[in-house]
């Protein structure tokens, strides 16, 4: 989710070229509906969404899909904004003025975390302990 279609398209093309399945949502309502229908390992969303601030939307998205890792992006950063965003249950915070490679690495790490948590849950459900 990003209010800048150019950034969303560029990010989508980059991640698709790396083998990820990508969907672009135009806002929280659409994203929330898709999260109900499809399991997403990672959600990338901008702080400046039209419907509400991204940091306010995290709790809504996590209620729908607790296992999804959320990466929050922002065009501009302040210490206050960063502190507010980091209070939420997000995986990574990316300021768009940084190199896109950092965001790509965060996506990879988010999927690694999801896979590790799934393996852990599978072991626990089979009685293998929680390690």
Rounded to whole angstroms, the Cα distance separating 119 from 122 reads 5
Give the model's confidence band at 31: pLDDT under 50 very low, under 70 low, under 90 confident, else very high: very high
pTM of the predicted protein model: 0.84
Whether 83 maps to a domain, the answer reads yes
The reply to whether 131 falls in a domain is: no
Tell me what pLDDT residue 85 has: 93
pLDDT at 48: 92
59 assigned to some structural domain? yes
Dihedral class, residue 98 (left if φ above 0, else alpha if ψ from -120 to 50, else beta) = beta
Query: 63-81: per-residue pLDDT in tens?
Result: 999 999 999 999 999 999 9
Mean pLDDT of 81-101: 90
Flag whether 113 is in a domain.
yes
Q: How many domains does the chain have?
A: 1
Does the residue 116 lie in any domain? yes
Q: Hey, which residues does 93 pair with through a beta bridge? A: 72
- pLDDT for residue 100 is more than 60: yes
Q: Which domain holds residue 21?
A: 5-125
The CATH number of the domain where 36 resides is what? 3.40.50.2300
């Amino acid at each position: 989710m990003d209010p800048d279609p150019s950034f969303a398209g560029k990010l989508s093309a980059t991640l698709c070229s790396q083998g990820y399945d990508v969907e672009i949502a135009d806002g929280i309502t659409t994203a929330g509906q898709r999260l109900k229908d499809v399991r997403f390992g990672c959600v990338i969303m901008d702080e400046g969404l039209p419907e509400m601030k991204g940091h306010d939307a995290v709790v809504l998205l996590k209620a729908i899909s607790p296992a999804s890792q959320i990466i929050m992006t922002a065009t501009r950063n302040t210490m206050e904004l960063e502190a507010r965003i980091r209070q939420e249950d997000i995986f990574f915070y990316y300021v768009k003025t940084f190199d896109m490679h950092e965001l790509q690495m965060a996506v990879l790490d988010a999927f690694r975390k999801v896979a590790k948590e799934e393996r852990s849950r599978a072991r626990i459900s089979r009685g293998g302990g929680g390690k």
